[in-house]
C-alpha cells in the first residue's frame, strides 16, 4: 500500500475560502488544484523539483510570485490559477523573493547561484519576464581576509525591497557572511552597491570565523525606516534603522537575544511596536515589544508544539492577527500542514486552515484579502518516486461575502454580578429595647437582644455604651449578667446560610441616685477569631 496523498506530476494552486465560523475553528475550505505537469515538463523541469520555497505578494493584491528553488524557477499566480512560470538560470536555486513597493520589479535571492535575478512586473503579472541575473560577489570584498565567506560562497537567503526618494533598494541576507547587502535596483540594467551591514551579536568580532549570525529572514517596517533580520544560527534578532535622506544610510544596529532561542522568520506589526519571530527549534512564536529599541523585551511566547513546527509568519495589514504556517510534527512530508491565525491582542487562536505538505512561506496581500502559502513538500531522498508528493501553492481567501472584516477579532459582552458575604459581619436583629418603668434601687425584667453572625468567620462580640451623658446605662445595664466593659460572647459562622444568631440577656440594675427618663445606645463590635 503506497502512501499517496495527492497525485504527483503537477504544481497545485490550493484555494481555501475562510467561512464565518466561531473561533477557534478548523477551516478545511474548498481545494482547487491546477495541474501543471505538461507546462512544467515542457520547460525541462523534473517533477521532483516542484518544491515552492518563498512567497512575495504584489502591492495591488492581485497575485504573488513564488520561488521554486529546486526547479530554478518562479511561479506567477493570481487568486485562482497559475499565470506563468519564469525560468531562471540553472543552479540559481532561488530562496527569498521580494517585490518593490511600487510593484515594478521583483528580486530573487539565489542561494546556490550567489546571485540575484530581476523580474520586470511593470506591465502586470501576465507580462512578467526575467530581466537578468547578477552575481552578487562582485559587490563584496571577497579578497579581504576580514570579510566572512565560506570558500567563496555567501548564500543569499532572504530579500526585501524598500523605496527612498523614488529609488528601490534591495536588502539581501547573506547567510554565510553574517551580513546584509544593500543594492540599488532602481535600474535593473545598472544595479549598484550601497552598503554592507554586519548583523548579530557577533557581527563585529575581529575574527570572521566567530561571526555566527547566519541571517535568514529579513523584513522592512511599513514606514520603510527599520530593517529586522532573524539570525538563525546565533538565535538573535538584529534591528537596523534606515536614516532620513535622499540616499539611504543606516543607524546603529540593535541586537536582541530572545532567551537563547532560535530566530528565523520575522514580521513587523504595522505600527512598528512589535516584531513577530518564528522559532522552529523550540516550536514557538515569539512576540517582541520593540517600541523602545533601547529596551526590547519579550511580550509573549506562544507554544506551538501541539501543532507542529512553525516555518513562517505574516502579520495582517491592520495588525489584528498573525498567520503562522505549520509543518506537521509527526510526518510532515505526508500529512497536510496548517496555517494558524492568532489574535495579536488576546493571543487567542482565531482560525486554523489545512494546507499542503510542509508550508514553508506565507504572504498576505496588502489589502488583507488573501494569503498565499508555498507548500514545499520536501520529499526525503529515500522516498520511492511513486510515493513522492508534489509541492503546492495554497491561496486562502481571508474575507467572506458580506463580511469584509474576515479574521478580525469579534467582541461580545457578559454582564457580571456577585453578592459577596463579608468575612466579618454581624446584624443586631433587636433594633430597640424598652425596659419600662423601674424604681430607683430596683432591677428590671430581663430582655433579649438577638445578634446574628452574617459573615463567613467565627467572631467574638463585645459592647460599648454610647449617647449616655449621665453614665446611667454605663452603670446600670447588664449583658449576660456582666457590666458592659466585661461583656464578651462568641458567635460561630454558618457557611451554609451565612447566619447564626445568639440571644444576649439584657437587664438594668438601677442605681439609687437615678430618676427621670434616660435614652442611650449600646454598640456591639465583632472581631474574627
CATH number at residue 504: 2.60.40.1090
pLDDT bin (cut points 50, 70, 90) of residue 505 is very high
Q: Give the residue, 380 or 117, on which the prediction is more confident.
A: 117
403 within a domain of the structure (yes/no): no
Q: Given 397, 413, 446, which residue is the final one in a domain?
A: 397
**Least confident range of 17-26, 152-161, 279-288, 519-528:** 17-26
Range of the domain at 494: 426-528
Query: What's the pLDDT score for residue 47?
Result: 58
Query: What's the pLDDT score for residue 17?
Result: 58
Q: Given 397, 415, 440, which residue is the final one in a domain?
A: 397
415 within a domain of the structure (yes/no): no
Sign of the CA dihedral with 421 first, then 423, 429, and 431 last: negative
Are residues 110 and 163 both part of a single domain? yes
Question: How far is residue 50's CA from residue 489's CA, in Å, rounded to a whole number?
Answer: 87
Query: What's the pLDDT score for residue 486?
Result: 93
Closest by Cα among 219, 218, 231, 312 to 270: 219
The whole-model pTM stands at: 0.73
Residues 6+ apart with CB under 8 A from 202: 178, 210, 211, 212, 213, 234
pLDDT bin (cut points 50, 70, 90) of residue 388 is low
Q: What is the tally of structural domains in the chain?
A: 2
Are residues 189 and 54 both part of a single domain? yes
CB 93 within 8 A of CB 75: no
CB 231 within 8 A of CB 216: yes
264 within a domain of the structure (yes/no): yes
Query: How many helices and strands (H and E) does the chain possess?
Result: 2, 37
Are residues 322 and 455 both part of a single domain? no
Are residues 384 and 431 both part of a single domain? no
The total number of residues shown for the chain amounts to 529
pLDDT bin (cut points 50, 70, 90) of residue 414 is low
Q: Given 357, 382, 397, which residue is the final one in a domain?
A: 397
Residue environment code for 326-361, b if the CB has 16+ CB neighbours within 10 A, otherwise e: bbbeeebbbbbbbbbbbbbeeeebbbbbbbbbbbbb
Question: How far is residue 146's CA from residue 151's CA, in Å, rounded to a whole number?
Answer: 14
405 within a domain of the structure (yes/no): no
Query: What's the pLDDT score for residue 110?
Result: 98
416 within a domain of the structure (yes/no): no
Question: How far is residue 435's CA from residue 506's CA, in Å, rounded to a whole number?
Answer: 9
CATH number at residue 254: 2.130.10.10
Question: How far is residue 302's CA from residue 348's CA, in Å, rounded to a whole number?
Answer: 10
pLDDT bin (cut points 50, 70, 90) of residue 330 is confident
Average pLDDT over residues 203-213: 91
Distances, alpha carbon 210 to alpha carbons 203, 241, 255, in Å? 8, 24, 16
446 within a domain of the structure (yes/no): yes
Average pLDDT over residues 26-40: 48
pLDDT bin (cut points 50, 70, 90) of residue 333 is confident
Query: What's the pLDDT score for residue 415?
Result: 65
Are residues 233 and 360 both part of a single domain? yes
Are residues 28 and 161 both part of a single domain? yes
pLDDT bin (cut points 50, 70, 90) of residue 407 is low
Are residues 39 and 127 both part of a single domain? yes
Q: Which residue has the cell 530562496?
A: 95
79 within a domain of the structure (yes/no): yes
Are residues 150 and 287 both part of a single domain? yes
Q: Which residues pair with 335 in a beta bridge?
A: none
Are residues 458 and 379 both part of a single domain? no
CB 504 within 8 A of CB 479: yes
Query: What's the pLDDT score for residue 4?
Result: 28
Are residues 444 and 393 both part of a single domain? no
Query: What's the pLDDT score for residue 408?
Result: 55
pLDDT tens string 71-109: 899 999 998 888 899 999 999 999 999 999 999 999 999
Are residues 430 and 340 both part of a single domain? no
Q: Which residue has the cell 433594633?
A: 431
Question: How far is residue 106's CA from residue 154's CA, in Å, rounded to a whole number?
Answer: 21
160 within a domain of the structure (yes/no): yes
Query: What's the pLDDT score for residue 401?
Result: 43
Are residues 328 and 194 both part of a single domain? yes
Query: What's the pLDDT score for residue 76?
Result: 93
Amino acid at each position: 500500500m503506497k502512501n499517496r496523498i495527492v497525485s504527483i506530476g503537477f504544481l497545485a494552486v490550493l484555494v481555501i475560502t475562510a467561512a464565518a465560523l466561531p473561533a477557534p475553528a478548523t477551516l478545511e475550505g474548498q481545494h482547487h488544484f491546477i495541474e501543471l505537469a505538461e507546462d512544467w515538463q515542457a520547460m525541462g523541469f523534473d517533477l521532483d523539483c516542484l518544491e515552492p520555497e518563498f512567497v512575495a505578494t504584489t502591492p495591488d493584491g492581485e497575485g504573488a510570485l513564488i520561488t521554486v528553488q529546486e526547479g530554478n524557477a518562479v511561479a506567477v499566480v493570481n487568486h485562482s490559477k497559475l499565470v506563468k512560470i519564469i525560468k531562471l538560470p540553472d543552479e540559481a536555486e532561488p530562496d527569498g523573493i521580494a517585490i518593490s513597493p511600487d510593484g515594478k520589479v521583483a528580486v530573487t535571492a539565489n542561494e546556490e547561484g550567489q546571485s540575484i535575478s530581476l523580474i520586470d512586473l511593470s506591465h502586470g503579472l501576465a507580462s512578467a519576464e526575467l530581466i537578468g541575473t547578477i552575481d552578487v560577489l562582485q559587490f563584496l570584498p571577497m579578497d579581504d581576509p576580514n570579510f566572512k565567506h565560506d570558500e567563496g560562497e555567501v548564500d543569499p537567503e532572504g530579500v526585501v525591497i524598500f523605496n527612498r526618494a523614488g529609488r528601490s533598494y534591495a536588502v539581501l541576507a547573506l547567510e554565510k557572511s553574517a551580513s546584509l547587502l544593500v543594492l540599488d535596483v532602481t535600474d535593473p540594467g545598472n544595479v549598484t552597491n550601497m552598503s554592507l551591514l554586519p548583523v548579530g551579536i557577533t557581527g563585529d568580532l575581529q575574527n570572521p570565523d566567530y561571526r555566527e549570525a547566519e541571517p535568514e529572514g529579513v523584513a522592512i517596517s511599513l514606514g520603510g525606516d527599520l530593517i529586522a533580520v532573524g539570525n538563525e544560527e546565533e538565535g538573535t534578532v538584529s534591528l537596523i534603522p534606515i536614516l532620513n535622506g535622499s540616499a539611504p544610510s543606516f543607524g546603529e544596529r540593535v541586537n536582541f537575544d530572545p532567551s537563547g532561542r532560535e530566530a528565523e522568520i520575522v514580521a513587523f506589526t504595522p505600527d512598528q511596536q512589535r516584531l513577530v519571530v518564528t522559532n522552529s527549534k523550540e516550536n514557538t512564536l515569539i512576540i517582541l515589544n520593540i517600541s523602545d529599541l533601547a529596551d526590547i523585551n519579550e511580550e509573549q511566547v506562544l507554544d506551538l508544539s501541539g501543532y507542529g513546527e512553525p516555518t513562517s509568519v505574516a502579520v495582517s495589514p491592520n495588525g489584528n492577527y498573525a498567520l503562522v504556517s505549520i509543518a506537521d510534527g509527526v510526518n510532515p512530508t505526508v500529512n497536510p500542514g496548517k496555517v494558524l491565525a492568532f489574535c495579536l491582542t488576546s493571543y487567542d487562536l482565531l482560525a486554523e486552515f489545512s494546507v499542503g505538505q510542509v508550508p514553508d512561506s506565507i504572504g498576505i496581500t496588502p489589502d488583507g484579502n488573501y494569503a498565499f502559502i508555498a507548500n514545499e513538500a520536501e520529499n526525503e531522498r529515500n522516498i520511492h518516486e511513486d510515493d513522492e508528493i508534489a509541492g503546492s501553492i495554497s491561496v486562502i481567501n481571508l474575507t467572506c461575502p458580506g463580511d469584509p472584516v474576515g479574521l478580525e477579532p469579534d467582541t461580545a459582552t457578559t454582564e457580571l454580578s456577585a453578592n459577596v458575604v463579608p468575612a466579618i459581619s454581624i446584624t443586631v436583629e433587636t433594633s430597640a429595647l424598652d425596659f419600662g418603668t423601674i424604681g430607683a434601687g430596683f432591677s428590671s425584667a430581663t430582655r433579649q437582644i438577638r445578634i446574628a453572625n452574617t459573615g463567613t468567620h467565627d467572631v467574638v462580640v463585645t459592647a460599648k455604651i454610647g449617647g449616655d451623658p449621665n453614665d446611667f446605662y454605663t452603670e446600670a445595664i447588664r449583658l449576660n449578667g456582666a457590666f458592659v466593659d466585661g461583656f464578651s460572647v462568641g458567635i460561630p459562622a454558618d457557611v451554609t446560610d451565612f447566619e447564626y444568631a445568639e440571644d444576649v440577656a439584657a437587664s438594668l440594675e438601677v442605681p439609687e441616685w437615678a430618676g427621670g427618663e434616660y435614652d442611650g445606645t449600646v454598640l456591639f463590635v465583632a472581631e474574627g477569631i
